[in-house]
A and B are shown apart, each in its own frame.
Chain A
Amino acid sequence: MDQIIGNIDLLIQFPIVNLKIILDGVMIGALFALAAYGLALVWGVMNVKNLAQGDFVIGGGYVSWWLANNVGLHPLLGVPIAFVVMWGIGWVTYKLVISRVIERDLFTSLLATFGLAIMYAQLMNLMFGSDTQSLVLDVTALGLENNYYFADGLIDLPAAKIIGVALAAILATCVILFMKRSRMGQAIRATAQDARAARVMGIDTEKVYAFTFSLNSAICGAAGAIIVMVWVIQPFYGITYSVRAFVIVTAAGLGNLPGVIAAGLGIGAAEQYGSHVFGIGYQQAIAVMLLLAVLVYRLLQQKRNRQVLQ
């Protein structure tokens, strides 16, 4: 208790720390939002809740890490390559597993993706070992500093984080434009609205499903390639990203893209505040508590609506 009061006291004594916490939170939240967006896409279009979401993220991280260590690839180039490689892995996963469970009930697809999550984590463990890995992004060659400091060094902005957030934003914009403008994007949205009607209109929904799942996997892969430059990855870290993605999508609601982004950034910031005040051990608990609060609020709201209907 004393420690919690002391921690709050620090926030009041050094107001600038609030800004730092929010900045850190927004930077990590941007990557959560990316994984959550992919999840919302698959959930909305195919009604599959992908529990292996986080493992695709970690998979992308390992693609970039492996290439950097074995081929000497620049970590920044790892992002598009992880996008492509994870696209392929997503496509294979769809063809082998997801296409068989897509028409089944909720539990079949949950079980299938849960099984995939365990399998991918073990595969990565066997292939890359259980040690934590990360990449260091050195941008001094581009005439930039590796770290920027403000407010007497209390606020630090590593270039890797700034670039990571920028890449995440570019990727998100591209995906949104693609969904709005391209024929495939329109087909995806049509399938999400009503798969049967879309089929009647001549849309190859099987192709749309395969494309959507691969796209999700690719987005996750790119997010992972950014994460490996900014934080660390480990074969069994997927679950943390899966949990956050679920929290964000559930809180924001399906088909609510601005909501997903806002919830992602918000949860990132809330976690940072939570870990500052209550201790870092409670970081993930904060995310889940927030979800609980949102769900209770929604329930109350719906109850009122139902009463009106009666």
Chain B
Amino acid sequence: MLKTLSLAAGALMASTAIAAAADCGTITLGAAISLTGKYATNGVHTQNGYEFAIKKIAENGGVKVDGKCYNFKVTYYDDESKGDRAATLAERLINQDKVQYMLGPYSSGMTKAIAPVTEKYKIPMIEAEGASRSLFNKGYKYLFAVLSTSEQYLASAVTLAGEKAVEAGGKASDVKVAIAVENDPFSLDIRAGVMEDAKRAGMTIVIDEKLPRDLSDMTSILTKVKLIKPDLLVVSGHSKGAATAVRQIGEQKISTPMIAMTHCEAADVTGNFGAAANDILCSTQWAETLTYEDPIFGSAANYEKEFKANYSAYTNKKVPYQTAQASAAIYVYKDAFERAGSMDKEKIRDAISATDMKTFYGGIKFSETGNNIAKPMVLRQIQDGEYKVVAPSAFASDKVNYPRTN
């Protein structure tokens, strides 16, 4: 009885909160996003992330600006996964729909297409899905990204390999690194990050190859790996790179003690290749097992749980990090509006720039150039088909298996 009563009270409180939120004004954000075309899957993940965050913020009393409350609303357009279309739509959002605050599209390429437009009109844009380093060396003042930039994706694997070499009684500079990355801006950033860290530690790069865009066979690289025997193999080629690498690493019995790659989840390497994927390290922006939390979304695990409750399509799979970071972008807007206490886009821009917050997605603090410097990239290892966080050590839930078994 008491329980029902407290439940009812809770429901009443929740409904008053919603009622209060319903009386609020509206702040319109704009987004051109890939709802069709080759990025459609991740475009939808992003949109769901935005919408979920808007709902959660409304449930928690909305956005308080100068004593009044507001709710977010997003005007979406479909960029069809095409850069020129994305740029046109950004113009349309700003000129015709008079949108004053923008959200990012999906992928570095689309963000690159839109950023010059928002910059021209001095419209702040918080983006969650463009990681390329090239977005942050153009001197953009209105572009902010909540995610870690791509050169950090696999750099932590280099550090880890160095630590393991020292543990084994050697030196970090003994480590031999093999790199196989695709010839595209994202993967080349990853290569640059790995090279930089490897050079700093005095490691040797023994293989450095570029994968073709239509990769379906990398036996020739793996044969070299077999002959030269590096200590760390780094692969980045989107989901085709991950799928091809894991499959052929299994087939060719590659015994490299540490292998790190990107896009393991997208290629579903555990589901497709089973044991061949074991002990491979995969980088991720976010994982639900991390110990981050905030007052709106709760812990990372709670975010995952509540998101699944709202979107039944995700019931049987993990909530992708693309969704989590999209929600984080909306959260940064809420925080910035409240701190600015104004609707003026210049004041909002300055408030975003001064952001320093802890969220379920990790710390968020922007550098001069607009990238997030408060959140590290996370490295997970596939252990018996499960993704376990193994680095950075502050958030690690499990120990890394080294050398990997095959």
A contact set with B: CB distance below 8 Å: 3, 7, 10, 13-14, 17, 20-21, 24, 28, 125, 129-134, 136, 147, 149, 153-154, 156, 158, 227, 231-234, 236-237, 239-240, 272, 275-276, 279-281, 283-284
Q: Top 10 nearest A-B pairs by Cβ distance?
A: A132-B240, A281-B210, A231-B216, A275-B220, A130-B38, A276-B220, A132-B243, A240-B214, A158-B251, A156-B252
| Closest residue on chain A to residue B212 by CB atoms | A281
Q: How far is the CA of A28 from the CA of B212 in the complex (A)?
A: 17
Which A residues touch B240, using CB under 8 A? 132, 232, 234
Number of interface residues of B (CB under 8 A): 39
> In the complex, what distance in Å separates the CA atom of A284 from the CA atom of B227?
24
Q: Which A-chain residue is minimally distant from B250 (CB atoms)?
A: A147
Contact with A along B134-174 (1 / 0, CB 8 A): 00000000000000000000000000000000000000000
Chain A residues positioned under 8 Å from B221 (CB to CB): 280
Q: B38 touching A125 by the CB < 8 A rule? A: yes
Within 8 A of A (CB), among B185-216: 208-212, 214-216
B210→A279 contact, CB < 8 A: yes
Q: Which B residues are CB-close (under 8 A) to A129?
A: 40-41
Q: Is B272 an interface residue (CB 8 A)?
A: yes
B251 to chain A, nearest CB (A): 5
**28 A/B residue pairs, CB under 8 Å, sorted by A:** A7-B224, A10-B224, A17-B227, A21-B220, A21-B223, A125-B37, A131-B41, A132-B243, A132-B244, A132-B267, A133-B243, A134-B272, A136-B272, A136-B274, A154-B227, A156-B253, A231-B216, A233-B216, A237-B214, A239-B214, A275-B220, A279-B209, A280-B211, A280-B212, A281-B209, A281-B212, A283-B217, A284-B212
CA A96 – CA B223 in complex, angstroms? 47
Select which of A153, A227, A232 is within 8 A of B243 by beta carbon.
A232
A286 CA to B220 CA, complexed, in Å:
14
Interface status of B183 (Cβ within 8 A of chain A): yes
Contact A24 B219, CB 8 Å, known A280-B209, A281-B212: yes
B223 in contact with A276 (CB, 8 Å): yes
Minimum Cβ distance to chain B for residue A30 (Å):
13
Q: Indicate if the CB atoms of A281 and B247 lie closer than 8 Å.
A: no
In-complex Cβ contact of A20 among B223, B243, B247, B251 (8 A):
B223
The answer for the CA separation of A180 and B224 in the assembled complex, in Å, is 45
Give the shortest distance, in Å, between A288 (CB) and chain B (any CB).
13
Q: Which chain A residue shows the least CB distance to B42? A: A130
